[in-house]
Amino acid sequence: MQQTIQISTPAHNGLYDITRQVEAIVSESGIQTGMVNVYVQGATAGIMIQENWDESVQRDVVSLLNKLIPNGVWEHDRQDGNGDAHLKAGIVGPSETIPILNGEMGLSTWQNIFLCEFDGPRSARSIVVTIVPV
């Protein structure tokens, strides 16, 4: 089973919780045991599993990446000004895979799935959710 989630991102850099949308797809699939892969299409965004207790961790992730990979100093910036976004996306990676256990994602209490936007705002980011039974 495969479905695509579309979300808009209002900020240049930010983490956006997509856990509920992925949970709905897993539930709809009826799969009790398997894997769900969450993959963002695009070279300037990523997918990350991170703490969901409050937004401070998400802000800290953005702050860390901005300190490690500043804007405006990369060779690619001469083409379209988003060299930092490509590097951040490459470090975070485009996907995460989560086990499906008894029909639910095997995330812990404090884990959620986040789209990491590094080149926003965007009117639409496409996230492909693929479920594989085992």
Question: Domains in the chain and their CATH numbers?
Answer: 19-133 (2.60.120.460)
Residue 109: strand, helix, or coil: coil
Q: What is the pTM of this model?
A: 0.96
Amino acid at 17: D
Q: Report pLDDT digits (tens) over 14-60.
A: 999 999 999 999 999 999 999 999 999 999 999 999 998 889 999 99
User: Are 103 and 36 within 8 A, CB to CB?
Assistant: no
Q: Report pLDDT digits (tens) over 76-116.
A: 989 999 999 999 999 999 999 999 999 999 999 999 999 99
